[in-house]
Amino acid sequence: MYAITLGDGALLRPLEPWRAQEFLDHVDRGRDFIGRYIPLPDAVTDLASSRAYLTAYGEKALTDTARVDGIWLDGTLVGGVLFRTMDVHLGTAEAGCWLEPSAVGRGLATRATRILIDWAVEERGIHRVEWRVCAENTPSIAVAHRLGMTRDGVLREHFPHRGQRQDIEVWSVLAPEWRAQKPT
């Protein structure tokens, strides 16, 4: 399989079901931090659920409707990027990311997501990439901004998470905008 360097000892590569224990260990290390805004740690609680999560994304990758890649730093899985949804026919996708605390502040999420978006736009013909983020998640909003996305609006009290409804900001970048901001 592929491994794409992100610099500074970091790699981006597929998160496949055979990595279920490694994925679970990663989620366990960052469970409270990751779970502040996204439900991933609530879905991945043991080896069986870890394998099921990765298998579901593997099946979605086969049908070209979603995908998940991991971010490794010095050989340790520390985060991931994904297309939670992808509709090649409509030309839309929703990207996202997460990191455990040890990987925050290094630019890994931005660099990995940039690779993912570039692949979707240039290889799969995606026209619009969305980024949906809890309005309180300022680090993730900063990633959207660094990726050149535009804030489309807020879905008020849209997503129930751990007993509270979150306002969700919707950010996006269109293929022509993406291409225009790429370095020559």
pLDDT digits (tens, 9 = 90+) for 156-183: 999 999 999 999 999 999 999 999 998 7
Report the sign of the C-alpha dihedral through residues 102, 61, 177, 140, in that order: negative
Residue 182's pLDDT is: 81
Residue 176's pLDDT is: 98
- DSSP calls for 45-110: -SHHHHHHHHHHHHHHHHTTS-EEEEEEETTEEEEEEEEEEEETTTTEEEEEEEE-GGGTTSSHHH
Nearest to 117 by CA among 155, 62, 172, 63: 172
Nearest to 82 by CA among 155, 6, 15: 15
Task: Give the separation between CA 64 and CA 119, rounded to whole angstroms.
Answer: 13
Task: Give the separation between CA 98 and CA 82, rounded to whole angstroms.
Answer: 9
Residue 183's pLDDT is: 72
What are the boundaries of each domain within the chain?
9-181
pLDDT tens readout for residues 20-71: 999 999 999 999 999 999 999 999 999 999 999 999 999 999 999 999 999 9
How would you label 14-53 residue by residue, b for 16+ Cβ within 10 Å and e otherwise?
bbbbebbebbbebbebbeeebbebbebbeebeeeeebbeb
pLDDT tens readout for residues 74-119: 999 999 999 999 999 999 999 999 999 999 999 999 999 999 999 9
CB proximity list for 12: less than 8 A, separation 6 or greater? 3, 4, 5, 6, 69, 70, 71, 72, 81, 112, 115
Which of the four pLDDT bands, split at 50, 70 and 90, describes residue 3?
very high
Residue 66's pLDDT is: 97
- Of the options 3.40.630.30, 3.40.50.720, 3.10.105.10, 3.90.190.20, the CATH number for the domain spanning 9-181: 3.40.630.30
Which of the four pLDDT bands, split at 50, 70 and 90, describes residue 184?
low
pLDDT tens readout for residues 111-140: 999 999 999 999 999 999 999 999 999 999
